Amino acid sequence: MDRLGTATLHRLPAGIVRPDYDRTTVATGIVHLGLGAFHRGHQAVYTDALLKDDSRWGILGVSLRSPDTRDALEPQGGLYSVTASDGAGHARRVIGALTGVAVAPEDPAGLIARLADPAVRIVSTTVTEKGYSHDPATGALRADDPDIRHDALNLTHPRSTLGFIVGGLRLRRQRGLPPYTVLACDNLPANGHTLRGLAIAFAGLIDRDLAEWIADNVRFPSTMVDRIVPATTDADRADVSAALGLDDAWPVVTEPFSQWVIADDFGGDRPAWDASGAQFVRDVAPFELMKLRLLNGAHSTIAYLGYLMGCETVAAAMAEPDLAGLVEDMMREEVTPTLPALGGFDVPAYRAALLNRFRNPALKHRTAQIAMDGSQKLPQRLLGTISDRLARGLPITRLALAVAGWMRYVSGTDEQGQPIALRDPLAIRLRALADDAGPIASRLTPALLSLASVFGNDLPSDPRFTSAVETALDSLFHQGARATIAQTRVARRADLMD
């Protein structure tokens, strides 16, 4: 089968949307760090839709680690397909927004030079929570991170996300060029504010004047991004290529729903993303908190408990009545009361939509994928909600079970005694703590709660939290996830009736 590319676009079947602009006229106005499936299925789609009217905003996609994406897309001229599926049908389109793909470790100095191109006005990021070299419990820079230590001494050849952002800004300052806007698109609380603080702190390790210049001149708008984009599988590649009649080496398969809320706080020109469905607002925080706590918090709960139940995908986990009911109850009764006023936004309708999205059988979103990097995700997805509820004297039964699910997951083996492949920046430390404690809740709970970079200092000293988590973890060890979930639902219903 021939490859998807510029020369073969005309052979696509009718009904498949393709670029409606001359790609040879598209300039690179955005450099995106972290060219994974999410960016290609979300921000790049919004950008592709406006290039016909404004060709200044092509994207140089940057892989910060692996050349795999470049190797897949370069022979296709940067083209790839996005398939949105909901179980009832498929909507397919080919995206042409990428003007190139770079692999940062192969030429870090070259990437710094590209960042200093005056045509580049936005540098955006989707590097996951672990890619910011920060302490997720406090948001502070981890100055002892090996890549940060390296970059502080070698900023012309950086390794880290912060190294490239600050390295590019330093070169622009040296050349008398205006800075670019830095646009974080990851699931971090106040992601723009957080990234700003990290960039200034990192720059301060190198040059205090540079740090002050960034603080005074560089804009870091916050964003809220929402679309479920599972990792692409070989089965996806085969299905998509059959539908296209052309081989697409790295397609994106996602859901129809997509949302992007952006703080309108740019240092210069910006794309008219609102013309392609994004929403510019003064304050992203309420939307961000709603999404982090409802969608992401529920997703992590489904991932850990579903994995322990033997469910490979989110849809399979949501087919389990007790788990689906527990998640719905948690969202309605424990999470929603912690959310700020959203100016008439219909939160119950949003919750209902989330449950339908989780049940989408067309998305093979693996629980193991969502379970990755839990030490970086727990603070914003679950622990903040728990802290708010405890401050109000409210129960945390289901939320505590979700945290216990993570602890059971990092203990090393599943309920059939098979090893769990733990993928986490703290994997070595987590495994050492789990091995030392053994499958004993009264030992493992305090051992994991000692990780201040995850849990901070307040929650581990609150017996309401520690007791609830230890009780749930003990049940997961002795009775298993399925029975524990069922008993938790029964117990909470009884409490509400008293």
Residues 274 and 376 in one domain: no
410 with 436, same domain: the answer is: yes
Query: What residues are paired with 63 via a beta bridge?
Result: 103
Residue 312 corresponds to which tokens in the numbers above?
Answer: 């490979």
Tokens 């389109």 found at: 93
Q: How far is CA 320 from CA 316, 327, 376, 409, 478, in A?
A: 7, 11, 27, 19, 20
Per-residue tokens: 476: 């997961």
Query: How far apart, in Å, are the Cα atoms of 336 and each of 116, 125, 328, 489?
Result: 44, 29, 11, 18
Residues 25-46: tens digit of each pLDDT: 999 999 999 999 999 999 999 9
Question: What is residue 494's predicted lDDT score, i.e. its pLDDT?
Answer: 53
pLDDT at 177: 98
Which of 227, 248, 281 is the last residue before a domain boundary? 281
What is the total residue count of the chain?
Answer: 498
Helices 384-391 and 397-410, packing angle to 10 deg: 150
CB 323 within 8 A of CB 314: no
Out of 241, 257, 281, pick the residue that ends a domain. 281
Mark whether 148 and 290 lie in a shared domain.
Answer: no
Same domain, 213 and 268: yes
Residue 418: the pLDDT is 92
Question: What is the C-alpha separation between 439 and 427, in angstroms, rounded?
Answer: 17
Q: Give the pLDDT score at 495.
A: 56
Q: Are residues 273 and 290 in the same domain?
A: no
- Output phi, psi for 16, to 5 deg: -95, 120
Q: Going by C-beta distance under 8 Å and a sequence separation of 6 or more, which residues neighbour residue 255?
A: 84, 85, 86, 227, 228, 357, 360, 362, 363
CA separation for the pair 112, 159 (Å, rounded): 11
Cβ neighbours, 10 Å, residue 369: 14
Asked whether residue 164 is assigned to any structural domain, the reply reads yes
Q: What is the pLDDT along the chain (498 residues), one digit of tens a residue?
A: 899 999 999 999 999 999 999 999 999 999 999 999 999 999 999 999 999 999 999 999 999 999 999 999 999 999 999 999 987 889 999 999 999 999 999 999 999 999 999 999 999 999 999 999 999 888 899 999 999 999 999 999 999 999 999 999 999 999 999 999 999 999 988 999 999 999 999 999 999 999 999 999 999 999 999 999 999 999 999 999 999 999 999 999 999 999 999 999 999 999 999 999 999 999 999 999 999 999 999 999 999 999 999 999 999 999 999 999 999 999 999 999 999 887 778 999 999 999 999 999 998 899 999 999 999 999 999 999 999 999 999 999 999 999 999 999 999 999 989 999 999 999 999 999 999 999 999 999 999 999 999 999 999 999 999 999 999 999 999 999 999 999 998 766 655 554
Give the domain extent around 420. Answer: 285-497
- List the structure tokens of 162: 């912060």
CATH number at 54 reads 3.40.50.720
Residues 351 and 424 in one domain: yes
Pair 420, 482 in one domain:
yes
Question: Based on the number of CB atoms within 10 Å of its own CB, is 339 exposed (0-12), middle (13-18) or buried (19 or more)?
Answer: middle
